[in-house]
Amino acid sequence: MKKTIICNQKMYLSYNDAKNLRDKLLEEDFSNVNLIICPGYLNMHLYKDFILGAQDCFYKKEGAFTGEVSAYHLSLIGVKYSLVGHAEKRRRDTEEEINLKLQAVIENGMTPILCVGESALEKEKGLTKDVLKHQIFSALDGISLNVNNEFIIAYEPVWAIGKDVNPSRKELDEVALYIKEVMKPSKIKDLKVLYGGSVNENNIKTIISDNIDGYLLGRASTKIDELKTIIKCTKCVK
């Protein structure tokens, strides 16, 4: 199966930087992966020839919500995916808001990329699985999923995002299988479990695995050569 590669451009790129990167991406053939680009809102239209994802969304359809961008409005411009519960948003979003965002994404016909992950302290205390299970259950609370729709969970340990450390392949395999086990009762046919957190051209070979369905890239997704190396490496796996 093709790996899914999500490029979370965060707030790294100005309009011109995003345009330059877009032009370079258009020259490449990335047909060996499912490539999803999550640009900043201002740069979204630059990537209209790619599969688009949002870095976040707001759950209300429309109204007096200064500074927010609704899942509904994103869906109207052709955005197909949205991150929900990214660690950098979880600092401010409550679990209830994450649940409402997930619901809004689904209701508007988009695929959620639910981000989950434990902190360094939680890992140290051996709580990784408990934290993941809690985050998944609370995000899905009261939501009925269509078994035929794609659903993505990105395991992004907080201690690995924006740093230079990753879990080992063994740890990743264990977590990916655990998440799949937790999601089993949902009977989702197209469940993908991705990994994100400091993936780069140097470590991709050490964390690639048949149990991981793809990677969520931050910094590395903004550098064309690094992105190419990572994508090329995903070919080495069945």
When binding is defined by CB under 6 A, the residue of 219, 223, 228, 232 that contacts ligand PGA is 219
Q: If binding is defined by CB under 6 A, does position 8 make contact with ligand PGA?
A: yes
Site membership for ligand PGA, residue 216 (CB under 6 A): yes
Tell me which of 88, 118, 156, 226 is the catalytic residue: 156
Query: Closest Cα to residue 224, out of 51, 22, 43, 6?
Result: 22
Q: Which CB, 22 or 90, lies closer to ligand PGA? A: 90
For ligand PGA, which is the closer residue by CB, 106 or 220? 220
Rounded distance between C-alpha atoms, residue 134 and residue 130, angstroms: 6
- Residue pair 24/224 in contact (Cβ under 8 Å)? The answer is yes
Confirm or reject binding of residue 99 to ligand PGA (CB under 6 A).
no
Does position 199 bind ligand PGA by CB under 6 A? yes
Residue (of 152, 149, 201, 214) closest to 180 by Cα position:
152
The residue from 162, 177, 205, 237 that contacts ligand PGA (CB under 6 A) is 162
Q: Cβ–Cβ contacts within 10 Å for residue 2, how many?
A: 13
Q: Which stretch binds ligand PGA (CB under 6 A): 62-70, 95-103, 105-113, 191-199?
A: 191-199
Q: Tell whether the torsion through CA atoms of 226, 228, 231 and 235 is positive or negative.
A: negative
* Positions marked catalytic: 86, 156
